[in-house]
């Protein structure tokens, strides 16, 4: 496992870079599998290379993408209440931490009552992880960081057993919505196995709402979301020798109301042949053919509570933003 330990002010940082070791071969295999399947699909975790992470940060600033602002509103207002039920919490874990901007409210609330905190972020994007770790360490001298650049489950599996004392796990940004229901259960059960009875999970989940708001959130007028999604094709060009014409694909984001899910697709705007030399693969696209890029499931509080119960958690409290668009849910790990 590649491990980075730095000197000076960054002596409080250790990064375990698993993504560097496993990433390229898995990316190649998943692109081959996804583009050879019918219908075609690509996987959302590959949206987040270094450029993709920066494009996601830009999405958080467009008018239509409300989830980040709504969740930030909740965390800013309620972080102290959230951590009050986890006294003496010395370990904060976050899956898919990204820029960790919203995490600051939780870190600050915890540091009001204690003089040290271990933060364990896991993110597939090594660049986002390194940048956010540096920023947090500069801001909080009481913080130590042990970061994992890895897929969520790989990062969880690689972690040392948790130190004694209560732990809080964060899964923010409605990342849970990227999983199909069965995958979400598997994932939450893996989190539960890592935690001990009484530990807590704070889960950020976007709520079901009207179609216009949801479809605009995933297809903003400025085109930042399109750039973010098309970047996965650009990444295939850069890393696998693809020749995708990026202007030949349009973004389609459609709310499937019965499934409670925004489906994000790229649509081939003409019939075309794409070759990926690194995979020795040629793929034909019909005009109008779709590549499925991500699912973004939306929730209601009863559904979240049921998901928690099926995976060994009890929903203790839910906070909403003022406009009731987004939910922050504090789950307690039940006795095994």
- Positions that interact with ligand SAM (CB under 6 A): 45, 48, 53, 56, 68, 96-98, 102, 122-125, 128, 151-152, 172-173, 175
Choose among 287, 138, 278, 299: nearest CA to 205. Answer: 299
| Residue matched to tokens 């690689």 | 158
Among all residues, whose Cβ is closest to ligand SAM?
A: 173
Residue closer to ligand SAM (CB basis): 129 or 276: 129
Q: How far is the CB of 153 from ligand SAM (least distance, A)?
A: 8
Residue closer to ligand SAM (CB basis): 152 or 265: 152
Residue closer to ligand SAM (CB basis): 91 or 178: 178
Residue closer to ligand SAM (CB basis): 126 or 195: 126
Q: Tokens standing for 19?
A: 């993504």
Q: How far is the CB of 285 from ligand SAM (least distance, A)?
A: 25
Residue closer to ligand SAM (CB basis): 151 or 289: 151
Question: In Å, what is the CA distance from 256 to each residue of 33, 174, 181, 213, 290?
Answer: 25, 17, 15, 13, 15
Residue closer to ligand SAM (CB basis): 171 or 249: 171
Q: How far is the CB of 46 from ligand SAM (least distance, A)?
A: 9
Q: How far is the CB of 287 from ligand SAM (least distance, A)?
A: 31
Q: How far is the CB of 72 from ligand SAM (least distance, A)?
A: 9
Is the distance from CB of 163 to CB of 281 less than 8 angstroms? no
260 class by beta-carbon count within 10 Å (0-12 exposed, 13-18 middle, 19+ buried):
middle
Residue closer to ligand SAM (CB basis): 68 or 328: 68
Q: How far is the CB of 68 from ligand SAM (least distance, A)?
A: 5
- Contacts made by residues 237-244, CB under 8 angstroms, sequence distance 24+: 239/24, 239/27, 239/278, 240/27, 240/28, 240/31, 240/276, 240/277, 240/278, 240/279, 241/276, 241/277, 241/278, 241/279, 242/274, 242/275, 242/276, 242/277, 242/278, 243/274, 243/275, 243/276, 243/277, 244/274
Q: How far is the CB of 232 from ligand SAM (least distance, A)?
A: 12
Choose among 57, 229, 48: nearest CA to 125. Answer: 48
């Amino acid at each position: 496992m590649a491990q980075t330990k730095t000197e000076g002010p960054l002596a409080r940082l250790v990064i375990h870079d698993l993504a560097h070791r496993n990433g390229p071969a898995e990316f190649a295999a998943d692109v081959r599998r996804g583009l050879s399947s019918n219908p075609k699909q690509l996987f959302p975790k590959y949206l987040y290379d270094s450029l993709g992470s920066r494009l996601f940060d830009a999405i958080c600033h467009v008018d239509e993408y409300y989830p980040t602002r709504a969740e930030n509103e909740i965390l800013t207002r309620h972080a102290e209440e959230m951590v009050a039920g986890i006294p003496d919490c010395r370990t904060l874990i976050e899956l898919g931490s990204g820029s960790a901007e919203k995490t600051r409210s939780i870190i600050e609330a915890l540091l009001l009552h204690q003089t040290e905190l271990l933060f364990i972020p896991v993110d597939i994007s090594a660049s986002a992880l390194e940048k956010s770790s540096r920023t947090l360490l500069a801001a909080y001298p009481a913080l130590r960081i042990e970061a994992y650049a890895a897929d969520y489950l790989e990062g969880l599996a690689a972690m040392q057993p948790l130190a004694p004392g209560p732990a809080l796990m964060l899964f923010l940004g409605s990342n849970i919505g990227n999983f199909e229901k069965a995958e979400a259960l598997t994932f939450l059960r893996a989190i539960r196995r890592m935690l001990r009875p009484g530990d807590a999970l704070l889960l950020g989940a976007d709520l079901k709402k009207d179609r216009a708001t949801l479809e605009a959130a995933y297809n903003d007028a400025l085109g930042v979301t399109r750039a973010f999604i098309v970047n996965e094709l650009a990444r295939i060009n850069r890393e696998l020798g693809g020749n995708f014409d990026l202007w030949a694909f349009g973004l389609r984001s459609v709310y499937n109301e019965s499934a409670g899910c925004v489906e994000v697709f790229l649509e081939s705007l003409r019939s075309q042949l794409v070759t990926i030399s690194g995979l020795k693969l040629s793929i034909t696209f019909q005009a109008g053919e779709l590549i499925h890029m991500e699912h973004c499931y939306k929730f209601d509080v009863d559904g979240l509570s049921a998901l928690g119960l099926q995976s060994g958690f009890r929903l203790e409290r839910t906070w909403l933003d003022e406009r009731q668009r987004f939910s922050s849910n504090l789950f307690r790990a039940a006795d095994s």
